[in-house]
Amino acid sequence: MNRRKFLKTAAIGSAATATLATPAISQGRMEWRMVTAWPPNLPGPGTSANWLADKITKMSEGKLTVKVYGAGELVPATGVFDAVSRGAAEMYHAVPTYWRGKSPGIVLFGNFPFGMLAGEQHAWMLHGGGQELYDEMYARFNLKPFLCGNTGVQWMGWFKREIKSAEDFKGLRFRSPGLSGEMYRRMGAAVVQLPGGEIFQALQAGTIDAAEFIGPWSDSALGFHQVAKYYYWPGVQEPASAEECVINKEKWDALSPELKQVIEVACAATYAYSTAEYVVRNPIALRNLVEKHGVQVKQAPEDVLIAAGNAAGEIMAELLEDSDPLVKKIANAYVEFRKTAMENARYSETAMANARELPYKFGK
């Protein structure tokens, strides 16, 4: 797959967002702009954003048409939150992980190192009070949020040299966002924050030594295998990474009940569709990376995982005592739901995954 076609953008500085034209409104029909944190049409999050926009447009019978803009086409990848918050665009597609600088509590709606898996995360949002907390946090920024996909367990990332112990993280220039990056920083890494579309150039130029993004399907489209051959698992930094569709709250409040329901249902459908697509696409892409490009798949040493787990535990302990009462509330709710989910998984998903690895015959 050609990496360049995902990186070709008409980059416009964030200052330009203030002068964006108002979307067309004709005979009760509206056109909204969805700005994204992804290179246009990036397999995974980029194509998921397109699918969501198409569903909203079709389900509303054209009453609400959504046009998708890749990172840099209207606003930079890192500027979508602020652009939608102030009304320079109507909605964005990104991940909560990117907004740690707004509040560390936001990140928990997307993922947490050693935290909940995709199904558990979604269950918390739908049935465990997570959505109400999500709404409360984002209302501070004039936003209405929905989850609309999940990558599932990610990969630890791409490394230019082998990782033999936790000591190898000391001084490692590593691209990793949000609280994942904070975990690796506490392990001694020199963490770098970069949008996905800038990772390849940084690896190629040698300004970073390693990077984690998503998984085989999306990563291969960006060409990381061309400049780093060691691909490590498991991605304990992101056991689930939820994608989000977030709307300017004033625009949301002005919608009819019917159009609100269209968006809510479209986001739920996209969550199921895109999460399932990663399950299908990742193994195909991984096989191609190994067989055609010579990528070396490596399991992270146990002491790396233990060091990472200890660092993640420190971060959560701090969130549970955060000076912001809402962050504390979110962190406590997350920890409690994770505990309950793990109790069940011990006898269900975890037990079944272990049983499938036993040496028995299955088919030919």
Q: List the CATH number of the domain containing 115.
A: 3.40.190.170
Q: With H, G, I as helix, E, B as strand and everything else as coil, classify residue 299.
A: strand
The structure tokens listed for 114 are 């050693």
pLDDT band at 23 (very low <50, low <70, confident <90, very high): low
Q: Which residues pair with 67 in a beta bridge?
A: 33
Q: What is the pLDDT of residue 27?
A: 60
The mean pLDDT of 161-176, rounded to a whole number, is 98
Considering the domain architecture, whether residues 19 and 127 belong to the same structural domain is answered as: yes
| Closest to 334 measured CA to CA, from 151, 178, 108 | 108
pLDDT band at 2 (very low <50, low <70, confident <90, very high): low
Task: Show Cβ contacts of residue 223 under 8 Å, excluding neighbours closer than 6 positions.
Answer: 3, 200
**Rounded distance, CA 231 to CA 290, Å?**
10
Give domain status of residue 287, yes or no: no
**Residue 196: which CATH number?**
3.40.190.10
Total of domains in the chain: 2
In this predicted model, what pLDDT tens digit does every residue of 60-82 receive, in sequence order? 999 999 999 999 999 999 999 99
Q: What is the pLDDT of residue 28?
A: 75
Give domain status of residue 68, yes or no: yes
pLDDT band at 26 (very low <50, low <70, confident <90, very high): low
The mean pLDDT of 16-28, rounded to a whole number, is 49
Considering the domain architecture, whether residues 28 and 140 belong to the same structural domain is answered as: yes
Considering the domain architecture, whether residues 84 and 136 belong to the same structural domain is answered as: yes
Considering the domain architecture, whether residues 57 and 144 belong to the same structural domain is answered as: yes
The structure tokens listed for 182 are 């904070």
Domain containing 337 equals 157-238+297-356
Considering the domain architecture, whether residues 69 and 196 belong to the same structural domain is answered as: no
Tokens 């993640």 locate to: 312
Statement: residue 20 has pLDDT above 60: no
Statement: residue 12 has pLDDT above 70: no
Give domain status of residue 51, yes or no: yes
Residues in the chain: 364
Considering the domain architecture, whether residues 190 and 86 belong to the same structural domain is answered as: no
Give domain status of residue 182, yes or no: yes
Statement: residue 350 has pLDDT above 90: yes
Average pLDDT, the chain: 93
Give domain status of residue 362, yes or no: no
Considering the domain architecture, whether residues 259 and 231 belong to the same structural domain is answered as: no
Q: What's the predicted TM-score (pTM) here?
A: 0.90
Considering the domain architecture, whether residues 261 and 302 belong to the same structural domain is answered as: no
Q: Tell me the one-letter amino acid at 363.
A: G
Q: Among 281, 312, 338, give the residue marking a domain's end.
A: 281
Considering the domain architecture, whether residues 120 and 266 belong to the same structural domain is answered as: yes
**Rounded distance, CA 172 to CA 262, Å?**
46
pLDDT band at 351 (very low <50, low <70, confident <90, very high): very high
* CB 29, CB 125: distance < 8 Å: no
Give domain status of residue 15, yes or no: yes
Query: Which segments within the chain are labelled E, that is strand?
Result: 25-26, 29-36, 64-69, 91-94, 143-150, 157-159, 173-175, 190-192, 210-211, 230-233, 242-248, 296-299
**Rounded distance, CA 189 to CA 307, Å?**
12
Statement: residue 171 has pLDDT above 50: yes
Eight-class DSSP state of 240:
-
In this predicted model, what pLDDT tens digit does every residue of 131-163 receive, in sequence order? 999 999 999 999 999 999 999 999 999 999 999
Tokens 């990186």 locate to: 7
Statement: residue 7 has pLDDT above 80: no
Statement: residue 14 has pLDDT above 70: no
Q: Among 226, 247, 281, give the residue marking a domain's end.
A: 281
Q: What is the pLDDT of residue 8?
A: 44
Q: What is the pLDDT of residue 208?
A: 98
Is 1 or 311 the better-scoring residue by pLDDT?
Answer: 311
In this predicted model, what pLDDT tens digit does every residue of 198-256 receive, in sequence order? 999 999 999 999 999 999 999 999 999 999 999 999 999 999 999 999 999 999 999 99
Considering the domain architecture, whether residues 204 and 306 belong to the same structural domain is answered as: yes
Give domain status of residue 224, yes or no: yes
Q: What is the pLDDT of residue 265?
A: 98
Considering the domain architecture, whether residues 256 and 135 belong to the same structural domain is answered as: yes
